[in-house]
Amino acid sequence: MVDPELRPDPDRLLQTLGQAARDAARGKLRVYFGASAGVGKTYAMLAAARAQRQQGVDVVAGIVETHGRRETAALLEGIESLPLRQLPYRGRRLQEFDLDGALARRPALILVDELAHSNAPGARHAKRWQDVHELLAAGIDVWTTLNVQHLDSLNEAVGGITGIRVWETVPERVFDAADEVILVDTSADELLRRLREGRVYLPEQARRAGEHFFRKGNLIALRELALRRTADHVDDDVQSYRRERAIQTVWRTREAIVACVGADPDAEHVVRSAHRLAQELECDWHVITLDAPRLTPQSPSARDALGQALALAETLGARVETLPGGDLVHAVARYARRHNMTKVLVGRGRAQARARGWRTWSAVLAGALAPGWIWHRSSFADALAAGCPEVDVIRLGASAHARAPARGRPRAVAREPGPRRPAGYAWAVAYCAAAAGLSALAFPVLHQTNIVMLFLLAVVAVALRHGRGPAALASVLSVGLFDFFFVQPLASFAVSDVQYLLTFLVLLGVGLLIGQLTAGLRMQARTSVKRAAETRGLYEFARELSSALQPEQIVASTGAFVHAAFGSRCALYILGLDERLAPSVPPGQDLPELDPALAQWVYDHGQAAGAGTTTLSTGALLYLPLKAPLRTRGVLAIENPRDVPFSVADARRQVDTYATLVAIALERLHYVEVAQQALVSMESEKLRHSLLAAVSHDLRTPLTSLVGMAETLAREPAALPPAALETVLAMQAQARRMHAMVVNLLDMARLQSRDTPLRLEWQSMEELVGAALAAMRDALAGHRVGVAPLSALPLVECDGVLIERVLCNLLENAAKYTPPGSVIGLQASAGAGELQVSVTDAGPGVPPGHERRIFEKFARGERESATPGVGLGLAVCEAIVHAHRGRIWVEPAPGQPHGARFAFTLPLGEPPAVQPETA
Amino acid sequence: MFDFPAQVLLIEDDPHIRRFVRLALEGEGCGVFEAETVERGLIEAGTRQPDVVILDLGLPDADGMVLIRELRGWTQVPVLVLSARAAEADKIAALDAGADDYLAKPFGLGELLARLRVLLRRHARGGAGSPAVVAFGAVRVDLPRREVTRDGQHVHLTAIEYRLLAALLSRRGKVVTHRELLREVWGPSHVEHSHYLRIYMGHLRQKLEADPAQPRYLLTEVGVGYRYAG
């Protein structure tokens, strides 16, 4: 018996199968992976490519950097090279890999060197690995090269070892998704030898730090990293192999990690660490940040750092959430519980930040008023551990990057936004002057302690009204003025009593603290006003969209609201009923830069592109797919606003929300349209019915008169001259023919309308044949009809009226096309699950090649004269027989020199039982 | 050609149809009264005491069905319906309301006269009760003795076959709907079992008709019912 534990998990197997199906369509990616430049990756790749070529594989070099090395260039000979694409950039021409050329050429295998390369502005994707991704998606195999320091997760580690951080990185998942990783390895000594011989090409950046980078210790460390990473990749392969073979003995319970980041320098470090951990545990990971009102205003650089960290998390595959609310511990704990997170990662950020500047001073003071964890991350971790005991709280070590003096970062002095700043300082001076003047008046009366109070009042007033900077100025000024004018010795900054030092300190401290608090409050107020405005905008937009009944209304309100919210123009590409994107620009706006090809790309891939994204980011417009719950409904193209560009996470989130609203409105509209069409078709069906009834009635009445009157005349043959009698008989025949035509037309119309159900009953074919022969008695008067015995046939389930029509039409047809006096035979037989009925005539037969055409009805006047007179009769027969799931055909009459045999079948079922008669 | 100079009431709003039907009937020696509306038709039927009524269903003032029901309140005069409504459901509705036969427009005069003849024959004997012996083709049915012969030979019919035959014979010329026959012969619980009818009618034709595939007396009105045309 198979141990259930050892069976492969069906879900996982399904996943594997789906993966296999996707893999079959995708190209294969092979990565030549090395520790550093100069190990011979390109060389190895080219050598292998030559071997492939000799085996007849269609190999094309998309882009290969030979760096002027002869032996490498020699290998490239004989391999077709794709021409590079020229991109104009600031007066220069940059050469780039031609993605569209490669897609058009469609080789079996393409060589694309330097996976980590960043494309020149103007290329479709920002990164070459995205190009490779598209090539793979198109089913083209790709070989590429990669150095270990360009791997996103190792970039930091390598930077820590070598002191050089590269900005061209490749996300981990791209590397992990590679089908093959081939490690190109060289010992450190060999590499150094090559370097000395000048056989290693160094990029500009590395050349500057050349000697530092290529120290033997570094190279050994890099080699180890590369070897480890390759081993990991092999391990992944082993893992998936084990999964397929159900070797796994222990199913790990599902781990999930949530990383908490704030506007700290180490936010990125936290994200990367979480990613590494998540990879090791093979689990989902989330990154959350708290969008809480703060006492300290955020510096723009800190905001940028946070935005970058969140963007990085998204590219690394995390689910990113911004939590509202004030209580961080509570919010994180709730999130962790709701999403069943097992580990919470917390950084150390603030510990370092505290070492800097006066800002920390005020922070410590403010700390007296605020819960401690806002300021001390360590306490946050403790608080979280206490509030959420079932979760592992992991406190990260400080990042290497944060330990080193941060380069280009410490622009962290909080700048206070607002136009009032210069005026604020003037006001600070004025307040202090006023306080000094007042004090001078009161000096003879008041004690010095109360004089200080006047200055304190001035400082508090300045802090409240004009913020931190003016408050600091006011504090300093007050201290100076108080000391100079009111402290012994007067008119000097000298201080006789040390006690006054405390007074000065308190004055300064209070000024700064209140300034800090007011600035925070003001920031918070401004944020909430902005939030409120955003929310109101969204609400109004949603309301407007919900009342839209036409796509034009959606376009117009989108234009108006996007302009109100971002100050930018926009355009919509809406998916029409013909599955094509049609551009529509709001009235009064025009966007000359619209790129329909890019819009189509965005729609096809369901990914945003253009400004603020990683795809064609140099464009002036952002293209967002309008993803509704059921499918993508179009594309929103929107101008990148000047003040807050879409690269800022907040703006992007807001515009995404707009896009979602538009998408949902479009989807709603689509269904309104579908419903309307259904209604219209219902109405037209009803109309058709009444029309049919009217036509039926109104045609029958005059036809009746016509037939009847002609017949009346013909009943007195003696009263008419022979020529007139002949005319009367012809009139009668034509009137009857017209009637037959009308009946066929009406039958056809009825059969084609959807709601004419068959009235199935168990019928006797003998009876139906009898009725048809009786109905056709006049038409068949000139022929001899031979009917085979039909009594032995079983009952057949059919609509008797319709099958009688089939029989009548076939008999009439036979009578019409055969000479008078000839024999018309009618046979029926049961067998093989069906009943076959045939009408055989001795007429001229059906011309070869027309066997199917004679069953076709006139389609809008076509072929009207091709087979004259056949008309609708046979088409009606075919429609009826098909409705019964039978077949109808014509063949030459068997055993006769000429003539046709029309046959049709009806499926035979099991007739209901009949109680035998008791008597 | 008719057995007696019958009085015919023709209720039809189309003057052309009235004209040729009337010519044809007068040619057969009948007296014809005309009416264009249901109201007029009822008055004529009451005052003229016709032997047969020919009725168009689509009349300007009301549906012909109203007239049939009204008429059946006080007379069993045969009613032949002429209608442009060709659907079987319309035919069944008219027959259920009390009509005897149904002809869809356009119809042949020969057919009309033949049907009228059958209806008039029954009507002529209507007052005197059903005949004791019915003969058609080579078949003789002795109703009191429940005996059927064909060419002088005894024909064995089962009880149900006989009941079915008798039900049709008693309504000579009238189209009897499936439901009516099923209810009468098999009982109310069998009104949906129309396949019984198909089988037993097949037996009857086998036993009584010269060519069961082209019956002359036991006729099928597909989708509606059966008719004895004797």
Distance (Å, rounded) from C-alpha A733 to C-alpha A743?
15
Residues 6+ apart with CB under 8 A from A898: A842, A843, A844, A845, A892
Q: Which run of H or E residues covers position A112?
A: strand A109-112
pLDDT for A507: 79
Residue B61 has pLDDT above 90, yes or no: no
Of A768 and B124, more confident? A768
Which residues of B make CB contacts under 8 Å with A?
A: 14, 16-17, 19-21, 23-24, 27, 58, 82, 84-86, 88, 104-110, 158-160, 193-196, 198-199, 201-202, 205-206, 211-215, 219-223
Q: Which residues of A31-48 are buried (b: 16+ CB within 10 A; e: fewer)?
A: bbbbbbbbbbbbbbbbeb
Write out chain B residues lying below 8 Å of A919, CB-based.
Answer: 158-160
Residue A865 has pLDDT above 50, yes or no: no
pLDDT for B2: 67
Q: Using the 8-state DSSP alphabet, how is residue A821 labeled? A: T
The token pair that represents A786 in the structure block: 């031979």
Backbone CA torsion sign across A879, A880, A886, A889: negative
Distance (Å, rounded) from C-alpha A825 to C-alpha A823?
6
Distance from CA of A838 to the nearest CA of B (A): 15
Q: What are phi and psi of A534, to 5 degrees?
A: -60, -50
The token pair that represents A406 in the structure block: 């941060």
Interface pTM, i.e. ipTM:
0.87
Write out chain B residues lying below 8 Å of A802, CB-based.
Answer: none
pLDDT for A864: 43
Q: How large is the average pLDDT for residues B123-140? A: 73
Residue A9 has pLDDT above 80, yes or no: no
Of B50 and A204, more confident? B50
Q: What is the SS3 assignment for A265-312?
A: CCHHHHHHHHHHHHHHHCCEEEEEEEECCCCCCCCHHHHHHHHHHHHH
From A356-365, A543-552, A769-778, the region with the lowest mean pLDDT: A356-365
* pLDDT tens digits for range B199-227: 999 999 999 998 888 898 999 988 899 98
Q: How large is the average pLDDT for residues A123-152? A: 87
Contact B106 A708 (CB under 8 A): yes
Distance from CA of B29 to the nearest CA of A (A): 15
Contact A919 B159 (CB under 8 A): yes
Give the one of B20, B160, B194 whose C-beta lies nearest to A708's C-beta: B20
Distance from CA of B23 to the nearest CA of A (A): 7
Give the one of B23, B212, B214 whose C-beta lies nearest to A712's C-beta: B23
Percent of chain A with pLDDT over 70: 83
Write out chain B residues lying below 8 Å of A911, CB-based.
Answer: 195
Write out chain A residues lying below 8 Å of B211, CB-based.
Answer: 787
* pLDDT tens digits for range A690-703: 777 777 777 888 88
* pLDDT tens digits for range B161-175: 999 999 998 888 888
Say what the pTM is.
0.47
- The single residue listed with the structure tokens 């040390």 is A498
Distance from CA of B105 to the nearest CA of A (A): 6
Write out chain A residues lying below 8 Å of B17, CB-based.
Answer: 701, 704-705, 708
pLDDT for A627: 87
Nearest residue of chain A to residue B158 (CA atoms): A919
For residue A238, how far is the Cα from the chain centroid?
32
Q: How large is the average pLDDT for residues B142-157? A: 89
Distance (Å, rounded) from C-alpha B74 to C-alpha B46?
9
Q: How large is the average pLDDT for residues A567-574? A: 88
Cα angle for residues A649, A650, A652 (degrees, 5° grid): 65
Characterise A895 by phi-psi region: left (phi > 0), alpha (psi -120 to 50), beta (else): left
Residue A838 has pLDDT above 90, yes or no: yes
Strand partners, B177: B225
- Picking from B83, B105, B194 by the largest number of A CB atoms within 10 A of its own CB, the best residue to mutate is B105
Write out chain A residues lying below 8 Å of B16, CB-based.
Answer: 702, 705, 708-709
Contact B198 A762 (CB under 8 A): yes
Residue A361 has pLDDT above 60, yes or no: no
pLDDT for A358: 36
Report yes or no: A903 and A837 within 8 Å, Cβ to Cβ.
yes
Residue A201 has pLDDT above 70, yes or no: no
- Assign A211 a pLDDT band (cuts: 50, 70, 90): low
Contact A791 B201 (CB under 8 A): no
pLDDT for A292: 56
| Cβ neighbours of A372 (radius 10 Å) | 13
Distance (Å, rounded) from C-alpha A704 to C-alpha A739?
9
Report yes or no: A342 and A257 within 8 Å, Cβ to Cβ.
yes
Contact A700 B106 (CB under 8 A): yes
Contact B214 A709 (CB under 8 A): no
Nearest residue of chain B to residue A797 (CA atoms): B195
pLDDT for B79: 93
Of A408 and A592, more confident? A592
Contact B20 A705 (CB under 8 A): yes
Contact A697 B201 (CB under 8 A): no
Report yes or no: A14 and A127 within 8 Å, Cβ to Cβ.
no
Percent of chain A with pLDDT over 90: 7
pLDDT for B165: 92
Residue A780 has pLDDT above 90, yes or no: no
Nearest residue of chain B to residue A715 (CA atoms): B24
Percent of chain B with pLDDT over 70: 95
| Cβ neighbours of A716 (radius 10 Å) | 11
Write out chain B residues lying below 8 Å of A702, CB-based.
Answer: 16
Q: Using the 8-state DSSP alphabet, how is residue B4 labeled? A: S
Write out chain B residues lying below 8 Å of A785, CB-based.
Answer: 214
Contact B108 A769 (CB under 8 A): no
* pLDDT tens digits for range A222-263: 888 888 778 777 766 666 665 555 544 333 346 788 888 877
Inter-chain CB pairs, A–B, below 8 Å: 134
* pLDDT tens digits for range A281-294: 777 888 888 765 55
pLDDT for B54: 94
Strands B52-56 and B7-11: parallel
Contact B109 A800 (CB under 8 A): no
Contact B17 A795 (CB under 8 A): no
Report yes or no: B11 and B54 within 8 Å, Cβ to Cβ.
yes
CA neighbor of B98 nearest in space, from B45, B35, B175, B13: B175
A265 to A321, A332, A367: CA distances (angstroms): 19, 20, 21
Distance from CA of A833 to the nearest CA of B (A): 19
B170 to A106, B126, B174, B224, B230: CA distances (angstroms): 87, 10, 9, 18, 11
Distance from CA of A715 to the nearest CA of B (A): 9
pLDDT for A918: 64
Contact A770 B220 (CB under 8 A): yes
A4-13, A148-157, A411-420 — which one is most confidently predicted on average? A148-157
Distance (Å, rounded) from C-alpha B100 to C-alpha B116?
10
| Cβ neighbours of A623 (radius 10 Å) | 28
- Assign A824 a pLDDT band (cuts: 50, 70, 90): very high
* pLDDT tens digits for range B18-48: 998 998 898 888 899 999 999 999 999 989 8
Give the one of A697, A773, A800 whose C-beta lies nearest to B223's C-beta: A800
Give the one of B106, B109, B202 whose C-beta lies nearest to A712's C-beta: B109
DSSP string, B47-109: HH--SEEEEESB-SSSBHHHHHHHHHTT----EEEEES---HHHHHHHHHHT-SEEEESS--H
Strands, E assignment, A548-588: 570-575, 581-584
Characterise A709 by phi-psi region: left (phi > 0), alpha (psi -120 to 50), beta (else): alpha
Report yes or no: A99 and A124 within 8 Å, Cβ to Cβ.
yes
Distance (Å, rounded) from C-alpha B132 to C-alpha A573?
88
Q: Which run of H or E residues covers position B15?
A: helix B15-27
Distance (Å, rounded) from C-alpha A526 to C-alpha A680?
53
Report yes or no: A764 and A793 within 8 Å, Cβ to Cβ.
yes
pLDDT for A144: 92
Q: What are phi and psi of A909, to 5 degrees?
A: -115, -160
For residue B156, how far is the Cα from the chain centroid?
27
Q: How large is the average pLDDT for residues A787-799? A: 89
| Cβ neighbours of A644 (radius 10 Å) | 14
A157-161, A453-457, A745-749 — which one is most confidently predicted on average? A453-457
From A102-116, A385-399, B170-184, the region with the lowest mean pLDDT: A385-399
pLDDT for A860: 35
Q: Which residues of B122-133 are buried (b: 16+ CB within 10 A; e: fewer)?
A: bbeeeeeeeeee
Report yes or no: B110 and B98 within 8 Å, Cβ to Cβ.
no
Burial of A495 (0-12, 13-18, 19+ CB in 10 A): middle
Burial of A832 (0-12, 13-18, 19+ CB in 10 A): exposed
